[in-house]
Amino acid sequence: MNKRFLIFAAATAYFWGVDAKVKLPNLVSDGMVIQHSSDVRLWGWDKPGKKVTVTTSWSQEKAVATTGKDGKWLVSVKSPEASFTPLEITFDDGDKTTVKNVLAGEVWVCAGQSNMEMPVKGFGQCPVVDYNKEVIGAVDGIRSAKIPSRMSTKPLDDAETSWRISSPMTVSEFSATGYFFAKTVRKALNIPVGLIEANKGGTRVESWLDEDNLKKYTKEDLDSTTMKDRFEWDFHYPLLWGNATLHPILNYTVKGIIYYQGCSNVGDPAGQYTERLKLLVEQLRRDFKEGDIPFYFVEIAPYVYGDGIDGTSGAKLREQQFNATKVIPNSGMVSTNDLVFPYEKGQIHPAQKQKVGERLAYLALNKTYGFKTVICDAMTYKDMIIQDDKAYLAFDNMSEGYNRWEDIEGFEIAGEDKVFHKATAVKFWAPGNDPRNERIAVSSPEVKAPVAVRYCFKNFQIGNFGNQGGLPLVPFRTDNWD
């Protein structure tokens, strides 16, 4: 296991020698995408006390830094408006280093676990829908840097990576969710999009929290030498993945974060995942130093967890994810309840990644880029009125209507006995046909006095109900029964 822990030598000789010139992190390299119209951070290493001058091909201004005792330096330069015109950045400490083929565009981080890591080509026995079509139609103007998924007991400042330019020869290796997000944003904005992929399959939210947060807010044991005795899988380790996979990118200037994670936290106590996801977002925003940057994340998809197909452990984690949107400012969640095939009960990597990425992009386009005509919010439960043998439900984010009036699947209803039965759900025509008063009437002949309603509140249950924008109803329950 020791081979999995990458601990860079503290010796300053690692960064410079007698004749060494400025050393740049691997992210600051040919083909990079910088955040346009921003104060972009650039950084590196050199001999202590060395002056480093940074010039750009788009401006006459210079940025100058002097390295500290640790050999580190950092400057900020004003980036140009977005365009597809290649740019250059030169670093001069007496010996020049020039980074070429730089584009100014939108830069997003792709974080989380395996469903974010899953490439366009898929994993073994886990395909992505329309793979060949996507490869042949690969969109230019999208670039990606994949941070190797590694662990370290100490935060690392660099990682072995390089920028990949999307083409039919390269796009198969891009994060599928990230690429389809970028493809949609690229089309809408007509500017370059850069993705920084910092993720690891199977990780828990605790895998990405830093040492201070883990010590202050959790009871995680951070002794790396005994982690293998406490966890069956190394991807469940706290702290270590964030140190080596996430920390190296924190100086990079980004627009926002898209995040797909949660499967490995199924079974967490009520409220714990919500609070720890909120904590992670606060940590990331602090470390990226760009204020409350957007954080858009994905609801875990239907899957048969350990308590079986009709169990609720997965549903309760989805509930915690939805609750996180209420406590994390400038955030949004896309529901994936309708994005699995019936035969994917045991497939934790669903194939329909196009719509996942697109829905994340809809959030960004509406909430971050001002495309208010783009419908981005999934429909959510609002309230319930019970009359006689029916429950009448209202919803938020209808986008002026429902996607269907009949053949609605996914609702269940229960009486005081707390036994849920499959329910019929039909549109209830409110007085005056005012859309603001439209409700769905839910009933079952087996429940004469309804008390509670659930929608797809199981590990694996696919619904077909949503809003007029084609976005699904987020799974919910009106009860708090365990």
pLDDT at 19 over 60: no
Contact in structure between 398 and 427 (CB atoms under 8 Å): no
Read off the pLDDT band of 435 (50, 70, 90): low
Mean local confidence (pLDDT), 152-165: 98
More confident residue, 353 or 16: 353
Tokens 């996430």 identify what position?
Answer: 246
Lowest mean pLDDT segment, chosen from 10-19, 234-243, 387-396, 408-417: 10-19
Other C-beta atoms within 10 Å of 461: how many? 19
pLDDT at 93 over 90: yes
More confident residue, 16 or 39: 39
Q: Which residues pair with 65 in a beta bridge?
A: 52
Structure tokens at 140: 């230019």
Read off the pLDDT band of 14 (50, 70, 90): very low
Mean local confidence (pLDDT), 59-85: 97
Structure pTM? 0.94
Q: What is the pLDDT of residue 433?
A: 60
Structure tokens at 346: 């045991």
* Cα–Cα distance for residue pair 324/327, rounded to 1 Å: 5
pLDDT at 285 over 50: yes
pLDDT at 436 over 90: no
Q: What is the pLDDT of residue 203?
A: 98
Mean local confidence (pLDDT), 84-88: 98
Contact in structure between 151 and 243 (CB atoms under 8 Å): yes
Predicted confidence (pLDDT) per residue in 186-208, tens digit: 999 999 999 999 999 999 999 99
Q: What is the pLDDT of residue 328?
A: 98
pLDDT at 3 over 90: no
pLDDT at 2 over 80: no
pLDDT at 432 over 70: no
What is the per-residue DSSP string for 108-174? EEEEESHHHH-BTT-BTTB--TTHHHHHHTPPTTEEEEEPP--B-SS--S--S--EEE-STTTGGGS
Angle (deg, nearest 10), helices 176-189 and 353-363: 50
Q: What is the pLDDT of residue 16?
A: 44
Predicted confidence (pLDDT) per residue in 362-394, tens digit: 999 999 999 999 999 999 999 999 999 999 999
Structure tokens at 411: 């609702």
pLDDT at 419 over 90: yes
Contact in structure between 287 and 213 (CB atoms under 8 Å): no
Q: What is the pLDDT of residue 434?
A: 59
Nearest CA-CA partner of 116 in 29, 252, 248, 246: 246
Distances (CA, A) of 10 to 47, 50, 154, 369, 413: 14, 19, 11, 42, 62
Mean local confidence (pLDDT), 254-270: 98
pLDDT at 116 over 80: yes
Q: What is the pLDDT of residue 405?
A: 86
Predicted confidence (pLDDT) per residue in 301-345, tens digit: 999 999 999 999 999 999 999 999 999 999 999 999 999 999 999
Mean local confidence (pLDDT), 476-482: 95
Mean local confidence (pLDDT), 343-351: 97
pLDDT at 476 over 60: yes
Nearest CA-CA partner of 42 in 258, 191, 244, 52: 52
Read off the pLDDT band of 418 (50, 70, 90): very high
Nearest CA-CA partner of 162 in 105, 99, 84: 99
Q: What is the rounded average pLDDT for all residues in the chain?
A: 94
Q: What is the pLDDT of residue 307?
A: 97
Read off the pLDDT band of 112 (50, 70, 90): very high
Read off the pLDDT band of 10 (50, 70, 90): very low
pLDDT at 8 over 50: no
pLDDT at 1 over 60: no
